[in-house]
Structure formats: structure tokens, C-alpha cells
Amino acid sequence: MTNFLITIIGPTAIGKTALSIKLAQHFNCEILSCDSRQFFKEMKIGTAVPNDDELKAAKHHFIQNKSIFENYSVGDFEEEALNKLNALFKENNIQILIGGSGLYVDAVLKGFDEFPEIDTSVRTEINEKYDQYGLIYLQEKLKELDIDYFTKISNENPQTLQNPQRMKRFVEVCIGTGKPYSSFIGRRKNERNFIPIIIGLEAEREIMYDRINQRVDIMMKEGLLGEATQLFPNKHLNALQTVGYRELFEFLDKKTTLDFAVEEIKKNTRRFAKRQITWFKRTENTKWFDYKTNIKEVTDYIKSRI
């Protein structure tokens, strides 16, 4: 029997959770989340995890299953998600994947390329240079060693340039192998035991922005500031280098006012949504629906593909 993975993509606050629950109920299946911020149990309000009623309405996986103190990579997620899918497909040949983290969606659908082992001395040297010079060292080094890849991520996912862990990895591969990071991409064919049916949700930009602004206001009413205050002593952790927390940490550091911090959350979330759209619009074989589309129209499309 052929397995099918209904994959729901789209920008934040577009309605992916609501649609995934309706589809899970319709097809009597379960939901795997690949939102990289919702993995962490300490970050509930600021990551808009499904509420208790939503979690009861359909079985979810990879929601608040890790701690911010754990090292958890996209490669770790790929392995765990595929193992979970293999188990779920034994019960039902239709399952659901949902998320706004494009890299994590790609990890499940396509996997990643195989890179050679790098001598630990290279990593040590890069960490020392990063500690001394900061992100600018990593950015300039990648530009020097792999201008093609630097240009690609600058255009398609500029937030990556601000991610120390990923930038260290790019530079590490370049230095450790003497070859551009991009030269290793596309070498390995990753086999999957399912056919993806990819559903994209979209809305007019003004509507999307309004939904984002409303969501931030709701988060603040639900206690986002209190959550950020509890996390503030650990603000250096990689998991907390994200929209919704960074801005409130600035307020808690007495560098901004609360009103300014909230407006910055809204602005930066809107920017994040634009980057999500750019990423997901490159996803091949995606059927895009308006966020208000009747559920029957979506299920009819899925049934036509099964």
C-alpha cells in the first residue's frame, strides 16, 4: 500500500493548525509538527503551540517534546520524524506534516546531503574566531570561501546569516574539506517511503499582517511577558534567539519600552512571514489555497491525489 504524507505549509498565523486538525479528523490520522520553535516545552505562549482543545482534537507529535537546554539539530529531527512516520504508516497510510519551518519540512520530505567528517581542530579554531570576532567573521569567511552559497542564502533565507550554529557549520565544511559547502549539496539521493501531497495556505498581504498583529496582541494578553521574564536568565541559548523573545529581552534589559518591544515583535514577525513565503513558494508540486477555502475543497483535492 502506498503511503501519503499530507504536508501543510504557509506563513505564520495563516491557519495551518486549524486545517491540519480538520484533515486529521477527516482521514483519521495523526499530526507531526515541524515548527522548530514549538519543540521546546519552556516556550509555549511565544511559539503559539496548539491549545489544549486543539491537542485533544487530534494526536500531535513533536510539540513541546524538548528542552531549550538540549542540543537538537535539524538532522536529529529528520531521523526522529522518519522513525515516527514509519510507525504511524503501519496504522494508517495517510499522515499529516505541518509547519512553518521550511528547513525542517525539507528535512522530512527530501532529507539532507551527506557531508564528510571534519577534524575537531577545525571546529575549535572556528569557535575561537567566533568568540573573538563574532558573526561578522563567519559571514565574511563564508563569502570568501563559497560566494555562491553565501549569495543564495542572502537572497532566499537571510535569517540564516544571523544563525551562529549554521554559519559555523558552513565555514567548518569549507575549511575542513577545502571545497565550497555548496559542492556537497545534491550528491545524495534520499529515499522516502511516502508520496507528499503538499498544501499551501495563503492570504492577501494586508490580511496576513493583520492576523499576525492580532496574534501578538493575544500572546501578550496570555502572558508572553511573564514567560519571557522566566526565560530571561537563559537568553543566550540558541533556542531563544527568536522573534517574540529577543524583543522582550531588550525590554527586560531596559534598552527599550514595552510598547516599542511589542511593535518590534509585530514588525519582525511580519518580516519572518515574508521570508517563509519566499521559501515555500519554491516548494515544487504545491497546491495553494486561500486560507478561507472550504475544507471540502481541500479534502477533494487530496482524494484526487490518493
The pLDDT tens digits of the residues spanning 24-37 come to 999 999 999 999 89
11 marked as binding residue? yes
pLDDT single digits (tens) 136-160: 999 999 999 999 999 999 988 888 8
Claim to verify: residue 214 and residue 275 sit in the same structural domain: yes
Claim to verify: residue 96 and residue 222 sit in the same structural domain: yes
233 marked as binding residue? no
10 marked as binding residue? yes
Confidence of residue 117 (pLDDT cuts 50, 70, 90): confident
Number of domains in the chain: 2
212 marked as binding residue? no
pLDDT single digits (tens) 227-263: 999 999 999 988 898 999 999 999 999 999 999 999 9
12 marked as binding residue? yes
Claim to verify: residue 102 and residue 237 sit in the same structural domain: yes
Cβ neighbours of 77 (radius 10 Å): 21
pTM above 0.95, yes or no: no
Asked whether the predicted pLDDT for residue 126 surpasses 90, the reply is yes
Confidence of residue 72 (pLDDT cuts 50, 70, 90): confident
Identify whether the C-beta of residue 138 lies closer than 8 Å to the C-beta of residue 173: no
Claim to verify: residue 38 and residue 94 sit in the same structural domain: yes
Of 184, 201, 234, the position where a domain reaches its end is 184
Q: What is the model's pLDDT at position 189? A: 63
13 marked as binding residue? yes
Enclosing domain of residue 160:
120-184
CA distances from 69 to 5, 66, 97, 224, 238 (A): 31, 8, 25, 20, 9
Claim to verify: residue 272 and residue 246 sit in the same structural domain: yes
Claim to verify: residue 128 and residue 104 sit in the same structural domain: no
First CA to last CA distance, the chain: 11
